[in-house]
Chain A
Amino acid sequence: MSRIMRKLNQWTAHLFDLPQDIVSDVPRVSLIGNRKLFVENHRGIVHFSNENMRLSLAKGELEVTGSELVIRGIWTEEICIEGYITEVKVHGMEDAKP
């Protein structure tokens, strides 16, 4: 996506008051208690173990730490992780500060 296109997208989103995750390629993460984590708009699995899991995103990575982690379901856009989640970290998006 070119720089101009991104600017244009952001501008239209702002104009129509649309949520950010719909127009731009950012992940939407929903955590239910400490047991379930839904990640939309992921780009695949980088690492997967019972305690630690790293998902690649359009930009950067999402790291999930916990115990007994299991991929309950996985689809091209969405992933559902279950287990005792203790930490969710986002890497490689530090430059996207407002």
Chain B
Amino acid sequence: MKPPLMGKIRGYVKIQIRGQHTEQLLNLLLAKRITIWDVRRTDDHQVSLFIIVPDFFRLRPFLKKTGCRVHVMERYGLPFSIGQVRRRSFFVTGAFLFLLGLYMLSSLVWTIEVKGNESISTEQVLAAAHEEGIYPFQWTFRLKETEELSKALHAKLSSSSWVGVTRQGTKIVIHIVESTVPKSRKLNNPRNIVASTDAVITSIIAEEGKAIVKPNDRVKKGQVLISGALGSPESPLIVVAKGSIRGLVWYEYSIQSPLVSKQKVMTGQSIEKSYVQLGQRRLQVSGYGQIPFSHYEVKTEFNDVNVGMLTLPLKWVKEKIMEVQIVEEAQEQQEAAQIGLRHARTDILAKYGPNARVVTEKILHQKTENGKVKLKVMFEVEQSITEEQPIIGTS
């Protein structure tokens, strides 16, 4: 039978009773309502049975009456386990310390995350948080309430419009919403705007300062176009001149364009070679033999060798050798000249900005010599001609 209710807690023992009148003893126990179970005859004068501990201590008078002797065989239940625990004090303290350590480590702040900051540096936020007691290895129970913390941080970080502090276990998340501050203007020195090159003015718009020249005026390089000095010459008000001026500028180009153009054309024939590369040394794996092409181009591809997450110091190199044919094409004189002009126009746009515009182009001279077309061209270009010149010495 199973031990009675709370048997494990109160503890029970298996005892052996020796004596002539064991039956009489059992009847006495029954009469006194002492619970026993699993009674077993082990010998002619010997009986083994289970009894709960409190009842075991009530046995003595009945034993005396019947002349029996008792011997404890086995012990079960909590009172005995406690005794065992006492003997293994080191184990128990270890287990306790482990739990304590786990609790302590989980009540530390391990990481601090700062989110949503753009202009405020993370270091700045962390420094402010440190002052408020948020730093790694801080006890979480020593932290103030998160609402209080967010208020204090908001007060410390002047350019934030809202700060939220949340704790997720051992992680503190500081969420920052920055207030939008208008961009501060770039500070400029007082200046004039002068011509960057000789030109004829086509348009002049002065945003600040006084426009000195008019459209269709011819200006020299370095001439003041928009003056930064306002008012009378005796006591001028110095400002930062600003504006846009466009003018016509002339450029002379000498162009050479060949009559025979050479072009590389892929034939579609190719061979592949592959290598294993370690550092600077290569070992060819496949594609041995002479390259059967007279003209070719090589396309090389490098691949890292990975084993799981690991990248080995090896490289797998693939070379594709593609046959190329050089096709020569004869061009008309006019065609060659056009190609030359086109090159010149793109050159102008690249040099003088995308706003530059070729107004007129005039071929001054053209001759064919040694299979080349030689051109001399005059380009009239409309472009921005502003240059800044600081005003020094006046205050």
Interface of A with B (CB < 8 Å)?
44-50, 69-76, 80
The answer for the CA separation of A46 and B33 in the assembled complex, in Å, is: 18
Contacts of B40 in A (CB 8 A): 50, 70-71
Query: Quick check: A45 and B26 within 8 Å, CB to CB?
Result: yes
Interface of B with A (CB < 8 Å)?
1, 22-23, 26-27, 30-31, 33, 35-41, 44, 47, 49
Contact of B47 among A46, A48, A75, A80 (CB under 8 A): A48
**Given known contacts A48-B22, A48-B47, is B37 in contact with A72 (CB within 8 Å)?**
yes
Contacts of B38 in A (CB 8 A): 70-73
The answer for the CA separation of A58 and B47 in the assembled complex, in Å, is: 25
Contacts of B37 in A (CB 8 A): 71-74
Query: Quick check: B30 and A48 within 8 Å, CB to CB?
Result: no
Query: Quick check: B1 and A72 within 8 Å, CB to CB?
Result: yes
- Residue in B23, B35, B47 with the greatest tally of chain A CB atoms within 10 Å: B23
Query: Quick check: A80 and B1 within 8 Å, CB to CB?
Result: yes
**Given known contacts A47-B23, A48-B22, A48-B23, is B41 in contact with A74 (CB within 8 Å)?**
no
Q: Is the interface of A mostly helix, strand, loop or mixed?
A: strand
The answer for the CA separation of A74 and B38 in the assembled complex, in Å, is: 9
Contacts of B26 in A (CB 8 A): 44-45, 48, 74
Contacts of A48 in B (CB 8 A): 22-23, 26, 39, 41, 47
The answer for the CA separation of A49 and B44 in the assembled complex, in Å, is: 8
**Given known contacts A45-B23, A75-B30, A76-B33, is B41 in contact with A50 (CB within 8 Å)?**
yes
Chain B residue with Cβ nearest A51 = B41
Contacts of A49 in B (CB 8 A): 41, 44
Contacts of A72 in B (CB 8 A): 1, 37-38
The answer for the CA separation of A74 and B4 in the assembled complex, in Å, is: 12
Q: How far is the CB of B5 from chain A (nearest CB, A)?
A: 13
Extra A-B contacts (5), CB below 8 Å, given A44-B31, A46-B23, A69-B41:
A44-B26, A49-B41, A72-B37, A73-B37, A74-B39
Q: How far is the CB of A61 from chain B (nearest CB, A)?
A: 13
Q: How far is the CB of B26 from chain A (nearest CB, A)?
A: 5
Contacts of A50 in B (CB 8 A): 40-41
The answer for the CA separation of A73 and B1 in the assembled complex, in Å, is: 6
Chain A residue with Cβ nearest B2 = A73
Contact of B36 among A44, A46, A74 (CB under 8 A): A74
Contact of A76 among B22, B30, B47, B49 (CB under 8 A): B30
Q: How far is the CB of B34 from chain A (nearest CB, A)?
A: 10
Contacts of B44 in A (CB 8 A): 49
Chain B residue with Cβ nearest A80 = B1
Chain B residue with Cβ nearest A44 = B27
The answer for the CA separation of A50 and B42 in the assembled complex, in Å, is: 8
The answer for the CA separation of A71 and B47 in the assembled complex, in Å, is: 11
Contact of B39 among A47, A71, A75, A76 (CB under 8 A): A71
Chain B residue with Cβ nearest A45 = B23
Chain B residue with Cβ nearest A83 = B40
Query: Quick check: A74 and B30 within 8 Å, CB to CB?
Result: yes
The answer for the CA separation of A4 and B251 in the assembled complex, in Å, is: 150
The answer for the CA separation of A80 and B47 in the assembled complex, in Å, is: 17
The answer for the CA separation of A72 and B44 in the assembled complex, in Å, is: 19
Contacts of A45 in B (CB 8 A): 23, 26-27
Contacts of B27 in A (CB 8 A): 44-45
Chain B residue with Cβ nearest A47 = B23
The answer for the CA separation of A75 and B1 in the assembled complex, in Å, is: 12
**Given known contacts A73-B1, A74-B36, is B41 in contact with A44 (CB within 8 Å)?**
no
Q: How far is the CB of A88 from chain B (nearest CB, A)?
A: 18
